[in-house]
């Protein structure tokens, strides 16, 4: 992609939906991940674009997107973070059968909440996302937000060989039992060190997304004051100044607002999770100055309908979730497909290294059956040596406690990063019927056992 502005598709129409408003074509292509002067990389992407095209849709109105599979493998598309109809969630083997090569699937859904989301493959996602099958999905606010520039910042760490090609070895069990597949080449918007061009005095909305398989990234914006206005698509009631690095676990999103200075300048955005800073992108302030916003009020996004769905903690159903396994973990055995195996057999014969409540892989029975409208509180214990980005499909949740300490005014999230040995409690209202995946978004962890599901009647 490599451009600063959001090269968006038209807003999807709200009238007759007999024909798809847009068609996504996952297929093989080439991308200049390392820059225009380097050999191109063979990738799997949507519509020959890495990342896929930015899709904008209206809030609370039906949309229709067709997927034509031009890949040699089956695939699906998951609309990450949207409280979507269950049959449209795109989870292979749970909500739909995979789209076979040469076949098509029509996704029809209504997004109730405005905000920053993303779409990606949910079939062999540890391979297909690592090859490039993802893109930015924006649900527009009902009234346009008062910003001068609306920019994408989609970060990914690709694993490339010396020739600039994606290395194989997807789903390696050694990696899956540790941190997951970590890349060695950083891109933003599918480009190396892209320049994001803005005008002096511009108020910039920066939509930050992590498309990494497993790496927890951290970004610093020296010389700039950024306000966090939304997390995982959901607005904060009160914007918060970004204090320290912007930490993005796999699949998380953060919306920032930055008021740029009135004179030309260049600001470096650095990735700092590995120690020495790596230049991720540049914000270049140039051109004619816009009206000075120094006395403007802070930008507060309008609330979403989700804000009305507060958990009823007094009548909540409480569920426990124990995470075990992985390298240097204490798990000795677990159940897989209804049969108990020791750890050695699980890893060597079944490719499983993790378990939830003693079950490796997606179990036959759900973690819990919930009534429509019921509040659930899930107490999770990370009894492993590794972090896990826990993602709940079809819902957002609030983190109530971390290590027995109450979290005050917790924001809504759909993906929470759990640290090793951490204990947390999350709460949500089960107001979206269907079978919903609940898994670690370190994709190799999910592949190797860290997945379950909830059933909402």
DSSP 270-322: EE-TTSS-EEEEEEEE-SS-----TTPPPP-PPPPGGGG----GGGPEEEEEE
pLDDT tens figures, 96-149: 999 999 999 999 999 999 999 999 999 999 999 999 999 999 999 999 999 999
Integer angstrom CA distances of residue 264 from 64, 200, 267: 43, 6, 10
Asked whether 202 and 149 are in contact (CB, 8 A), the reply is yes
| The pLDDT value given to residue 294 | 78
For residue 139, what are its two tokens? 């649900």
Average pLDDT over all residues of the chain: 95
Model's pTM, two decimal places? 0.94
Asked whether 307 and 288 are in contact (CB, 8 A), the reply is no
Residue 198's nearest CA partner among 137, 266, 246 is 266
Q: What is the distance between the alpha carbons of residues 95 and 78, in angstroms, rounded to a whole number?
A: 10
Residue 267 reports pLDDT greater than 50 = yes
Residue 432 reports pLDDT greater than 80 = yes
Measured between its terminal Cα atoms, the distance across the chain in Å is 41
Q: What is the distance between the alpha carbons of residues 54 and 139, in angstroms, rounded to a whole number?
A: 11
Mean pLDDT of the 353-365 span: 96
Q: Quick one: pLDDT band at residue 176, thresholds 50, 70, 90?
A: very high
Residue 12 reports pLDDT greater than 50 = no
Helix (H, G, I), strand (E, B) or coil at 350: helix
| pLDDT-wise least confident of 176-180, 205-209, 273-277 | 273-277
Integer angstrom CA distances of residue 453 from 301, 313, 381, 392, 431: 32, 21, 17, 9, 15
Mean pLDDT of the 448-455 span: 98
Residue 288: Cβ within 10 Å count: 7
Helix (H, G, I), strand (E, B) or coil at 176: helix
Angle at the Cα of 300 from the Cα atoms of 299 and 303, rounded to 5 degrees: 155
Q: What is the distance between the alpha carbons of residues 399 and 365, in angstroms, rounded to a whole number?
A: 25
Mean pLDDT of the 37-46 span: 97
Q: What is the distance between the alpha carbons of residues 142 and 132, in angstroms, rounded to a whole number?
A: 31
Residue 346: Cβ within 10 Å count: 26
Asked whether 327 and 173 are in contact (CB, 8 A), the reply is no
Report the percent of the chain where pLDDT is more than 90: 93
Q: Quick one: pLDDT band at residue 18, thresholds 50, 70, 90?
A: low
Q: What is the distance between the alpha carbons of residues 84 and 385, in angstroms, rounded to a whole number?
A: 33
Domains of the chain: 22-141 (2.60.40.420), 150-301 (2.60.40.420), 309-456 (2.60.40.420)
Burial of 173 (0-12, 13-18, 19+ CB in 10 A): middle
| pLDDT-wise least confident of 2-11, 40-49, 357-366 | 2-11
Q: Quick one: pLDDT band at residue 3, thresholds 50, 70, 90?
A: very low
pLDDT tens figures, 230-264: 999 999 999 999 999 999 999 999 999 999 999 99
Q: What is the distance between the alpha carbons of residues 219 and 278, in angstroms, rounded to a whole number?
A: 9
CA count, 13 A, side-chain hemisphere, 361: 15
Integer angstrom CA distances of residue 402 from 78, 380, 392: 29, 10, 18
């Amino acid at each position: 992609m490599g451009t600063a502005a959001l090269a968006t598709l038209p807003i999807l129409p709200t009238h007759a939906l007999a024909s798809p408003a847009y068609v996504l074509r996952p297929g093989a292509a080439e991308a200049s991940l390392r820059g225009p002067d380097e050999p191109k990389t063979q990738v799997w992407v949507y519509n020959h674009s890495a990342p896929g095209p930015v899709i904008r849709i209206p809030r609370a109105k039906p949309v229709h997107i067709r997927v034509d599979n031009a890949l040699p493998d089956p695939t699906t598309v998951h609309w990450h973070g949207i409280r979507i109809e269950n049959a449209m969630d795109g989870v292979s083997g749970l909500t739909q059968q995979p789209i076979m090569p040469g076949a098509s699937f029509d996704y029809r859904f209504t997004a109730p909440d405005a905000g920053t989301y993303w779409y990606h493959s949910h079939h062999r996602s540890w391979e297909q996302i690592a090859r490039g099958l993802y893109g930015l999905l924006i649900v527009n606010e009902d009234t346009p937000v008062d910003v001068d520039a609306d920019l994408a910042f989609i970060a990914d760490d690709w694993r490339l060989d010396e020739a600039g090609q994606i290395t194989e070895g997807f789903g390696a069990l050694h990696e899956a039992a540790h941190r997951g597949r970590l890349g060695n080449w950083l891109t933003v918007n599918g480009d190396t060190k892209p320049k994001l061009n803005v005008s002096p005095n511009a108020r910039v909305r920066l939509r930050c997304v992590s498309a990494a398989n497993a790496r927890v990234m951290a970004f610093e914006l020296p010389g700039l004051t950024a306000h966090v206005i939304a997390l995982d698509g959901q607005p904060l009631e009160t914007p918060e100044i970004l204090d320290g690095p912007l930490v993005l676990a796999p699949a998380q999103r953060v919306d920032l607002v930055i008021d740029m200075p009135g004179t030309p300048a260049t600001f470096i955005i650095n990735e700092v999770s590995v120690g020495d800073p790596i230049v991720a992108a540049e914000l270049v302030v140039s051109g004619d100055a816009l009206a000075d916003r120094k006395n403007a009020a802070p930008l507060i996004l309008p609330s979403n309908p989700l804000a009305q769905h507060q958990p009823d903690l007094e009548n909540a159903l409480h569920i426990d979730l124990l995470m075990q396994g992985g390298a240097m973990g204490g798990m000795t055995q677990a159940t897989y497909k209804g049969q108990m195996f020791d750890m050695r057999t699980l890893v060597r014969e079944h490719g499983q290294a993790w378990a939830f409540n003693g079950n490796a892989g997606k179990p036959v029975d759900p973690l819990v059956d919930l009534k429509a409208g019921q509040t659930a509180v899930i107490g999770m214990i990370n009894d492993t040596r590794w972090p896990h980005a826990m993602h709940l499909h079809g819902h957002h949740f609030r983190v109530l406690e971390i290590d027995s300490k109450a979290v005050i005014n917790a924001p809504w999230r759909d993906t929470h990063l759990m640290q090793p040995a951490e204990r947390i409690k999350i709460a949500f209202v089960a107001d979206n019927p269907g079978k919903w995946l609940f898994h670690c978004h370190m994709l190799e962890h999910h592949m190797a056992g860290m997945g379950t599901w909830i059933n909402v009647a």
